[in-house]
Amino acid sequence: MRRLYSVGMRYVFLALIMVFTLFPFFWLVFNSFKPSREIFTVRPTLRIQNPTLENYKWAMGPKGANLGRYLLNSIFTAGFAAIVTIIFATTGGYALGRFLFRGRESIAIFLILSQMFQGPLIMVPWYKMASALGIINTRLVLILIYGTATIPTCTWLMSGFYGNVPEDLEEAAMIDGCSYFAAFWRVVLPLVIPGIVAIGLYSFIIAWNDYQYALILTSSDFAKTVQVGLAELIGFFGKTSWGGIMASGVLTSLPVVMLFVVVQRYLVEGLTSGAVKG
């Protein structure tokens, strides 16, 4: 009975934390389907009396926020930033976690310390370099600057994943006729799938949530991201559409939520297969 009581209290505690954490998002979703007169009632409630999609039409339509273009820009820049990060982190992390060379520890420390020099501290140098290269107000400049924020951390994380893979597996593969690259590609890389998924998700979220870099380095609809577009909705056309803003918030959250749902399944599968093969 004591054990059942302890387990039950844990679930109750976790349920309370989930309700406390997710309630603002539920409030956002429910209010996004309400007309304006129901959002500002005297007694707020989650009940929707007259559901409507006008808020979502306003968020996506050309007469409203027109977030469609900004969402595509964010998906493009965040997706490419994640791909670039995976390529450099999987190879750099392998070199850092597998080979012994002079300065290896110093490089690992430098990768960690490089995260101290982010944000406004490097904004002016980045702006000057981007201006000299002629890539201001492009999606390329965002992909590059997001890479500087994610590659060091992800390389350091991947070195830890590679360190947990026994070297005997590579040696056995090379004895069977695999080249060094083939052993890395066919044996080692499948065992670190959980790490690849983790750094891909991490880099995508970092790029997706960015506001300061996109605000300074982009100004046109061709490159502006959804975070900047959301910030501009306050006072849009001299009038604030709170229902439209809530619908925009839901649309902005959906890609990350959907990606996490899909990636979570592959993350569990990767953990299981890695444990069996190891």
pLDDT at 274: 41
pLDDT at 275: 41
**pLDDT band at residue 76 under the 50/70/90 scheme:** very high
For residue 238, the 8-state DSSP code is G
Region 141-152 average pLDDT = 91
pLDDT at 243: 85
Mean pLDDT of the chain: 84
Residue 63 pLDDT exceeds 80: no
Q: Residue 209 corresponds to which tokens in the numbers above?
A: 């949530």
C-alpha dihedral, 74 to 75 to 76 to 79, nearest 10°: 120
What's the pLDDT tens digit per position in 232-261? Answer: 876 555 456 788 888 888 998 888 888 888
Give the chain's domains with CATH numbers.
1-52 (no CATH), 64-277 (1.10.3720.10)
More confident residue, 102 or 63: 102
Region 227-236 average pLDDT = 76
Quick one: which of 90, 96, 225, 77 has its CA closest to 146? 77
Q: Residue 270 corresponds to which tokens in the numbers above?
A: 């990767």
**Backbone torsion region of residue 131, taken as left when φ is above 0, otherwise alpha when ψ lies between -120 and 50, otherwise beta:** alpha
Whether 256 and 79 have beta carbons less than 8 Å apart is answered as: no
Separation of alpha carbons 88 and 204, rounded Å = 15
Quick one: which of 39, 12, 59, 57 has its CA closest to 249? 59
Coarse DSSP helix, strand, coil percentages of the chain, rounded to the nearest 5 percent: 80, 0, 20
